Structure 1
């Protein structure tokens, strides 16, 4: 039985009339189970609890789900109150089936690995019903039954010339599993074949599970084993093959004929044997992440059988995924922050993404017009009423749904347990637009064979109340030629209605540190920056207004304009903006939406384009150079800085210093970084703390990405 982990979605209801907050909890003693937001059975997405200002429970509210969507969890383990990728025990037979249906979809005891596998034959669907029932006997855990295949001797031909069953017997795990061993064997006698049973490797089968009669002579003497991962363009079901996929190659009609026919090209052939002498085939191979396993007889010359197919693996699954249903909060929600507690060992990765929408389905369904071929929108029911092969891939409803956010930086969102949880001083701003009624969460966990990340809890900060009924913003210019520091103008136009809480702060995500703030204007009137100084952080700018904007009579569409200078280091950099009240203890921020905020500019966007391609490490600067680390407080430290461009997620970075003979003098950094300005200092000392001799030294900056490594090399001079 699954243990339940813990996930909290904290809904801070900062309504000025209610003055209350709420928590939507998953797992734990009082929260919703992890599986509730998956809504696999069409149920609601759980409930959240509303608290008063004194912390007392006021009421509980239901969270709805989409009637046209379900969530999914693949290879997730919820043991110990956390979310982790599943671990495969090397002694667990992954194909041991406890039950199966007539289509070969089978429930396995290893529930945390997705719940089911499929067993099928590589045949035309017309013959599937004749062969599949006997095939399943090789997966039923009963060593006294077998998948038996006959050989038909050709009349008048030499012995062994005829027709036999050659099609693949296929195991589909539905997801990639870490597999390194495949074992199969015929029905054995617990008396006559006791020596064969005793010689079988761990896990050793119980001799009493075998029958009295021996069918060892029916062992598979000629076989081929093929495997494929998720990239194979193969459908799960022969009867419902979607567009873009196909069924397994049919090697011969009804399994007969087809002498020396090659296997399906989607498979990598691990072993091909035409003179096997082993009654028990126990094939071990280096660990591979496999979804499909195909076993077939190579041109049989007699009857043959398989009593049991056993597949084993070891280690953590490489990729595990958790996807909630579309969660319906009943009204537009102001999404604040997101944070989590967990661990990410070296070599592992956690990708957390969100998206928000204004309706319950992010897809648009369509079919081509019978005459013109142009796309015509159809309903959800009409789409799924079509035969599978006639269903067109749905379009994304970008007018009502945001795209998935980039993965949140794991370190940025970590819970800081030194801070009070209610203060929300930790976490990171939710990147999906708001206010939006609907939200969906996706978590993908990447593991190594021996190490896996884990999420202990994950929290969202939300509010029912809005700072403004609408917030449109745009930036100008929207295109720059290079990564040099540029002047930009950022304009926000708010629309207020009665009940909006208003705002006196504007936060702009700049990704790199702003060089200069030129002015802040409200309705064309400049704010005194000496009295209301902007806060310049390494990746954002926080502007203080000289008053709170909130009045529907006087503040509607009153533009807030900020002029600043900053470099743009990534193509399509979005200068996301948020507004909030400085006197709000929860500091829940409302996202600025791109749009026509001013007639002066025609961009209507918050993203800036720059040149695509080029180096990722640019503009390396050393100052002063040479430097004199003689402790006279003048030029004692050399500053090494550089720009990292076009790197969205953190990637490994190493900065090291060498002498001219190539010996390493000092490692300044072994860390991870992403787009931004990076700076390190050197005091002229070796790793052991001793001062280096005067001379020329070499710096090497290395950034590892998915496309390979990039390096920058230069010199630093030391003088005394």
Structure 2
């Protein structure tokens, strides 16, 4: 208030305090009515303070107000947490960062080290890692030198891996390593991570840094190779509808930063369209469609060879892949 009351010629420049404050987050949109809960685990932490601002948009006939605003917080689990990701067996890549072929399942190491300088810190007994697609857990290691530890539980979801070890709760700066498999689908993938506490404290973010002196990446980014975005198209070679069989067609989309138009269709050998199995927008991921041997009107097709086409329109180029299916009765 005192600053705003100064004359313009008295006001000095206002500089961003980048050392103590992060940039503003992207705009989080909320509906005008109802209760909204927003997770803030993307913010850096632990921090003593945070800022927020609300922007209202309405019409001359509609007014808006905030009835209640509450913030749930907890004490930090550690003074800070640092992590770095690498390919298994390649702790010191020549490029300085982990690189792998996009669309190929790869085994990664995720090293974490937390710092404990303050008194009364709870420590942590779990790790959450944000992954592309559905990962698979390999092993958990702790200590120096690293030795395998049996986790108490592992939770795998679409886009996340959570490893819990309350019987080996960490309250010092020992190094922890999670080994897992995942398939990067875009050129650059950020494996964000959080310290977890089964006692109920909020997750604490892991920052990129030197978590293990034997690993040189010091980053949570993994980079891939630039390849054709429509790949690994597979289809069942033979379909026997009379046996209740279906032909499966699977394909993988990689590299895209936004969704593209995808179509999966069935043609006969004369080029006549028989059936459209899928038509819509899709982003990076692996997908499957099935064909039961019927045309668009639900009639069984005659025995013979048919063509399955998967096409993707990225607005700059159309990619097409063809596979054949033999229908027999």
Matched, 1:621 2:234: yes
Q: Which one of 500, 508, 511 corresponds to residue 129 of structure 2?
A: 508
Report the Cα distance in structure 1 between the residues aligned to 2:243 and 2:275, rounded to whole angstroms.
19
**8 Å Cα contact 1:536-1:542 kept in structure 2:** yes
Distance 1:475 1:383, change over 3 A: same
- Deviations for 1:328-384, whole angstroms, at most 9, x for unmatched residues? xxxxxxxxxxxxxxxxxxxxxxxxxxxxxxxxxxxxxxxxxxxxxxxxxxxxx5557
**8 Å Cα contact 1:658-1:665 kept in structure 2:** yes
Deviation, 1:528, is: 2.5
Distance 1:556 1:617, change over 3 A: same
**8 Å Cα contact 2:126-2:166 kept in structure 1:** no
Q: What is aligned with 1:468?
A: 78
- Deviations for 1:174-212, whole angstroms, at most 9, x for unmatched residues? xxxxxxxxxxxxxxxxxxxxxxxxxxxxxxxxxxxxxxx
Residues matched between the structures, number: 297
Equivalent residue of 1:463, what SS? coil
Q: What is aligned with 1:638?
A: 247
- Deviations for 1:389-431, whole angstroms, at most 9, x for unmatched residues? xxxxx999488535856x88x9xx99xx9xxx79x7xx77754
Q: Which one of 98, 105, 112 corresponds to residue 492 of structure 1?
A: 112
**8 Å Cα contact 1:629-1:718 kept in structure 2:** no
Distance 1:688 1:649, change over 3 A: same
Counterparts of 1:145-164 in structure 2 under 5 Å?
Answer: none
Equivalent residue of 1:534, what SS? strand
Q: What is aligned with 1:188?
A: none
Counterparts of 1:517-666 in structure 2 under 5 Å?
Answer: 517-523=137-143, 524-528=146-150, 532-547=152-167, 549=169, 555-584=171-200, 588-612=202-226, 614-622=227-235, 624-631=236-243, 636-666=245-275
Distance 1:468 1:637, change over 3 A: farther
Q: What is aligned with 2:91?
A: none
- Deviations for 1:269-304, whole angstroms, at most 9, x for unmatched residues? xxxxxxxxxxxxxxxxxxxxxxxxxxxxxxxxxxxx
Report the Cα distance in structure 2 between the residues aligned to 1:431 and 1:693, rounded to whole angstroms.
56
Report the Cα distance in structure 2 between the residues aligned to 1:404 and 1:663, rounded to whole angstroms.
51
Q: Which runs of 5+ in 2 are unaligned?
A: 5-10, 58-65, 88-96
Q: What is aligned with 1:714?
A: 322
Report the Cα distance in structure 2 between the residues aligned to 1:396 and 1:583, rounded to whole angstroms.
34
Equivalent residue of 2:242, what SS? coil
**8 Å Cα contact 2:123-2:172 kept in structure 1:** no
Counterparts of 1:217-296 in structure 2 under 5 Å?
Answer: none
Report the Cα distance in structure 2 between the residues aligned to 1:490 and 1:689, rounded to whole angstroms.
50
TM-score, normalization by structure 2 = 0.72
Report the Cα distance in structure 2 between the residues aligned to 1:429 and 1:607, rounded to whole angstroms.
21
Structure with greater contact order relative to length (CA < 8 Å, sep ≥ 6)? 2
Distance 1:671 1:611, change over 3 A: same
Report the Cα distance in structure 2 between the residues aligned to 1:717 and 1:518, rounded to whole angstroms.
37
TM-score, normalization by structure 1 = 0.36
Deviation, 1:466, is: 2.2
Higher helix share: 1
Equivalent residue of 1:691, what SS? coil
Q: What is aligned with 1:196?
A: none
**8 Å Cα contact 1:502-1:548 kept in structure 2:** no
Report the Cα distance in structure 2 between the residues aligned to 1:607 and 1:639, rounded to whole angstroms.
34
Report the Cα distance in structure 2 between the residues aligned to 1:652 and 1:460, rounded to whole angstroms.
42
Distance 1:582 1:679, change over 3 A: farther
Equivalent residue of 1:630, what SS? helix
Equivalent residue of 2:325, what SS? strand
Counterparts of 1:306-345 in structure 2 under 5 Å?
Answer: none
Q: What is aligned with 2:101?
A: 482
**8 Å Cα contact 1:580-1:588 kept in structure 2:** yes
Counterparts of 1:72-87 in structure 2 under 5 Å?
Answer: none
What RMSD, in angstroms, separates the aligned Cα atoms of the two structures? 4.0
Counterparts of 1:97-496 in structure 2 under 5 Å?
Answer: 382-383=12-13, 397=18, 400-402=21-23, 430-436=41-47, 437-439=49-51, 462-477=72-87, 478-483=97-102, 484-496=104-116
Q: Which runs of 5+ in 1 are unaligned?
A: 1-41, 44-66, 69-380, 385-393, 446-455
Equivalent residue of 2:293, what SS? coil
- Deviations for 1:136-176, whole angstroms, at most 9, x for unmatched residues? xxxxxxxxxxxxxxxxxxxxxxxxxxxxxxxxxxxxxxxxx
